[in-house]
Structure 1
Amino acid sequence: MYSEEQKMYFSKNLLDWYQTHKRDLPWRRSKNPYYIWISEVMLQQTRVDTVIPYFHRFIDQFPTVEALATAPEENVLKAWEGLGYYSRARNLQSAVREVHERYDGVVPASKEDISALKGVGPYTSGAILSIAYNKPEPAVDGNVMRVLSRYFLIEEDIMKPSTRTIMEKLARELILDGTASDFNQALMELGAMVCTPRSPHCLTCPVMAHCSAREAGMEEALPIKKKAKPPRPELRAVALIEGTGEHAGKWLIRQRPQEGLLARMWELPHVEWATTAWQSDEDNQEALRAALAEQEQIGIQPEDWFMDTEHIFSHIVWKMKVYRAKLGDANRPSTGEEWIPFHYRWVGPEDLQNYAFPNVFVRIMREWQEGNEA
């Protein structure tokens, strides 16, 4: 289907280019499969520049398979805080625990074993096996599919599993003997630095001369990708409950359920709106008070609107209105001692390092802190 001349030209020129132009990235300084594994999980749906400081901090805190396998989950989630997609961190730790227990702490070097680990899909397994162990396995992600779509003029929807199968077969054929580690990294690098999603830098591309999409004037049209559904909006009202007396300068937080979205992370109390439109602030506050009283048996006294913000997931976006509030008298029984549910805590700015939060709630609390210090 594709000429051997075109394939050989691609592989050789790409490898030559990579030796001169590859970026100095921290996970490239070692063939440690554990470090490479961490970097690949972090890089999913996250920019390289964002990942670098997280990677350094993470391996400082969890330098070995054993260190991550035996760490409390809350410490792992805290180290991951800000990267999002927290299921990645949970799956990573779960898989690392299996490596610790079943493989004596050594990341498996076989396709069958590594692919059986939780959260390790075809791309991650291919990346680890090729980069760390130099095994001729393809590692096909979005960057790679974009490059191959353009160079070989593949006009198939890259969101289809059948197209990924085509790409993986082709990528495997392009790996020259003994070059898997450098080749797969070179292919990723070309997609990240030159063959970019928009306005590709064709004149500096090492394989431009035989790029079929450029010859056909289709480099901007490829790859073909069916648009995903936009994230569904959800309205959520948030209670920023400020402490008084011994809790002055603190906020009331709660832990999310053991399962589901953002499981076991901490957050400000909030409720989902049943309607698709906000009411007046007065009505919003009353509904927030009533909902928390019903759902959590916690009484609050909303005071005023504080800020609007949002938190974006892959499939939903939380549109959030934040209201300042105080804990109500309903939480003070006749003894005068305050009562709150067991999954609630009072925390101040100095305590935030001890709890893993979705980033949006950290932003809200920091905004409150900065406003009070101004």
Structure 2
Amino acid sequence: MTHQVDGRRPRVVLGVGGGIAAYKACEVLRRLTESGHEVRVAPTEAALRFVGAATFEALSGQPVRTGVFADVPEVPHVRLGQTADLVLVVPTTADLLAKAAHGLADDLLTNTLLTARCPVLLVPAMHTEMWEHPATRDNVALLRSRGVVVAEPASGRLTGADTGRGRLPEPAEIVELARLLLARPDALPRDLAGRRVVVSAGGTREPLDPVRFLGNRSSGRQGYALASVAAQRGAEVTLVGANTTGLAEPAGVEVVRVGTALELRDAVHAAAKDADIVVMAAAVADFRPRETVEHKIKKTDGDPEPVALTRNPDVLVELVRDRRPGQLVVGFAAETGDAGGDVLAHGRAKLARKGCDLLVLNAVGDGRAFEVEDNAGWLLAAGGSERTIPHGSKAHFASHVWDEIVHILSE
């Protein structure tokens, strides 16, 4: 879903800095254009040494310029920033961060950054030593103090054999953050700075034999979006992912991978000891087989015996019971209406049973919540307030959840 602006396609200026990660800007550009955004690429001269102008022009359908003396009658160095709905710079080098922080404007991109009055999202990519240098840290802090969104970089393989903090986040995550800022320009404040957060995501699988398992349809996308948005809002995040191997790790997030409900229970309890906020977004199986067969059950074995089940621990209830003073615990509920009540009625009953501070409620079925890119739902607080989250991307949904969490913490 593309968030329209005044009934038209959103206008994005995609700046490209001169770093090796410039090639990933092509994937960001492709994702933006294919999802209905109008994109104008403004690379630096150094960026064109990594990716040619023809590539950006072919993918965007727009001319590519680097200087302020091309198309002078159109005054592009002013018009691009004035008419943009978002300025996104991928990758943002240490040099570009310094220029943006100090108002230097020696090409089309840096002039555009000075004239932009829309949200600006800078996505850094550089070696760890450069990212951690006091000059870079000061430039980032200064930009953030002015309302510029400087994304947290990922950790991983850098240029050559080096690894560490400073890797460009994955293009899919960058585009989700861009979509979020187009829909909600104020969605990424640094209001979780200094907070330690645990988020669980995905669906547990309980093995029947070496091949089969009891599971559910949770992909983990919503939990990953919650972790990503929390990290970009300044939190120190641990993400416990159950069977989410198809998803890229969010930038700035420590990921602990688990499979079963018991493994998830152990990992979440361990991470929660020092956490300020615990968000249980994972779909944890209520039951597991009492016994796991060590060999594959075959049709030739005759009619199978009924599978005896045993109840899994209720991790959310345990977290509420064991929480330390001041810790906030958030639960998730996926519900369908039935003869006993509608979705909201079941959600309110679950909130009362679980005793958590906030319950995030989703209606499921008919292509809703599970295995889709967008989401909608309700926020039910222990204090009695209820709020609807409008339909939008899962990052958009996550931003509303964090808004409510910050509001509860402030009280």
TM-score range, shorter chain: under 0.3
TM norm structure 2: 0.25
TM norm structure 1: 0.27
Q: Which has the higher helix share?
A: 1
Q: Which has the higher strand share?
A: 2
